[in-house]
Amino acid sequence: MIRIGIVAGETSGDAIAADLIHVIKKQYPDAVFEGIAGPKMKAAGCTPLYDSERLAVMAITEVLRRLPELLNIRKSIATHFINNPPDVFIGVDAPDFNLALEKKLKENGIPTVHYVSPSVWAWRQYRIKKIAKSIDLMLTLFPFEMEFYKKHNVPVKFVGHPMADQITFDDQKPDARFTLQCENNTSVIALLPGSRFSEVQRLLPLMIDTAAFCYEQNNKLEFLLPAATEKLQTYIENYLKEIGCQLPVRVIAGKARSVMQASDVILLASGTATLEAMLLNRPMVVTYKVSKTSYWIMKLLSNVNYVALPNFFGDTQPVPEFLQDNATKENLGGALLYLMEDKNARDSMCETFRHNHKLLKLNASQQAADAIFNLIRK
C-alpha cells in the first residue's frame, strides 16, 4: 500500500490535486491520501486533517492577521507526517505554507514534491535557495518555469497544465449562449471580479462602473457576472440593488466557465481565471487592486512587468492589464470596447492563445504521477 501526504490550498489547488489523486488511484487503487484537502480532493478519496479553506488567505496584510493560526496548522501537519511517514509528500501550490513544511519533512527523510511552482521567477527570486533545500522535485505547469529551475540546478519536470487537458479546442460559444439564454442581438461582456470575498468587495464596484461606461457607448451589450458561492451571489445581488443598478447585468450562480464561453470579451481579475480564459480562447482585459501597503511591497519584490499568466508566454504582451491606480473605468472600458470593435485585435490575441494551449496540453496529471513514482522508486 502506498501512503501519500498531500496539502493543497484554495480552489485551483484542490482541483489540480484531485485530478492527480484520480490518476494515481487508477494505477494504485489501494493508495491512501491524507492531508489538507478541499471538496474535490475529499470526493477523490483524500482523508482531510484540515480543510483547504483554512489556507485561503489573500495579500500580505491578511496573512499577517492569520499567521498564528497558519503556523499552528503547519506544526500540527508536520508532526503528524513525521510520526507517520508517508512514501512521499506532495505540496500543491500554497508555497508560503508548503515550502517550510516540505523542508521540515525532507529533513526527516520524507521525499518531497512541490506541484505548481510559486512565481519565484517573477518575484522574490531569493526564495530559490529555500526551494532547493525543501524539495526533491518541482513539477511545473509552464515551460518558462522549467528553464528557471534548470538554471538554478533544482530537480524539475514540466508536466503541462491539467486545465489545458480538460478544455477542448472547439468553440462552445453558441451552446453556452443558448444555455445561459443570451439575447441574439446583443454582445456579451463577462465580468469576473474573483472568487474570494475580499477580491469581489474591492473589484465589483470598479467592474460595474466599467460596464456602465461601456453601455453608454454601446447599448447592445449585456453583462454576465458569475458568483462562485451563494454568499458571493447574495453579496453581489445586494450591492446591485443598493446602487440601483439599471444595467443589463445578470448574476449567474457558479458556471464561470459557461459565462466565459458565452462571452465576446472578458473583464477579469488577475489570477487562475486568466489562464482559463486563454484556454477557452476568449479575448480579455485584466485588472487587479490590493491595499496600497500590499501593492508597494509586491512592487518592491517583483522582477517582471506583467501579472496576467497569458503575458508570460513568448516575448509579446497579448493581454492588456490595468492595475491599481491605472484600473479606472475609462481605461478598462476603452480596452474592452476596442476589442469588441476590432476583429483583427481579437483574432491576433486568440491566435496567440491557441498556440499557448497546445504547449500546455500534455496530459499533465499522468505526467505528474509518473514523475512522483519515479522519485519514490529512487
Q: What are phi and psi of 269, to 5 degrees?
A: -75, 145
Residue-wise pLDDT tens digits, 115-172: 999 877 656 677 899 999 999 999 999 998 998 899 999 999 999 999 999 998 777 8
Q: What is the pLDDT of residue 147?
A: 87
Percent of the chain scored above 90 by pLDDT? 66
pLDDT confidence bin for 294, thresholds 50/70/90: low
* Domain boundaries defined on the chain: 3-160+362-377, 173-360
Q: What is the pLDDT of residue 122?
A: 57
Relative to beta strand 249-253, strand 3-8 is unpaired
CA distance 64 to 289: 19
CA distance 272 to 141: 12
CA distance 190 to 265: 7
Tell me if residue 235 falls in helix, strand or coil: helix
- Residue 164 C-alpha from the chain's centroid: 13
Residue-wise pLDDT tens digits, 251-283: 999 899 999 999 999 999 988 899 999 999 999
Q: What is the pLDDT of residue 314?
A: 73
Tell me if residue 119 falls in helix, strand or coil: coil
- Residue 190 C-alpha from the chain's centroid: 17
For 3-160+362-377, which CATH superfamily applies?
A: Glycogen Phosphorylase B; (3.40.50.2000)
0.85 surpassed by pTM: no
Residue-wise pLDDT tens digits, 2-48: 999 999 987 888 999 999 999 999 999 999 999 999 999 999 999 99
Question: When comparing pLDDT for 330 and 289, which is higher?
Answer: 330
Quick one: DSSP state of residue 270? S
pLDDT at 67 over 70: yes
Q: What is the pLDDT of residue 263?
A: 95
Q: What is the pLDDT of residue 304?
A: 56
What CATH number does domain 173-360 carry, 3.40.50.2300, 3.40.50.300, 3.40.50.2000, 1.10.10.10? 3.40.50.2000
Residue-wise pLDDT tens digits, 94-117: 888 999 999 999 999 999 999 999
Q: What is the pLDDT of residue 300?
A: 58
Amino acid letter, residue 291: S
Q: Are 262 and 191 in contact (CB under 8 A)?
A: no
For the record, the C-alpha cell of 66 comes out as 492569520
Q: What is the pLDDT of residue 310?
A: 86
CA distance 17 to 13: 6
Of 98, 80, 70, the C-alpha closest to 8 is 98
Q: Quick one: angle between helices 127-134 and 95-107, nearest 10? A: 40
Tell me if residue 358 falls in helix, strand or coil: helix
Q: What is the pLDDT of residue 30?
A: 95
Residue with cell 516575448: 315
- Mean pLDDT, to the nearest integer, of 53-58? 66
* Count of other CB atoms within 10 angstroms of residue 36: 31
For the record, the C-alpha cell of 270 comes out as 488577475
CA distance 123 to 111: 27
**Average pLDDT taken over every residue of the chain:** 89
Q: Quick one: angle between helices 329-341 and 197-217, nearest 10? A: 60
- Residue 108 C-alpha from the chain's centroid: 31
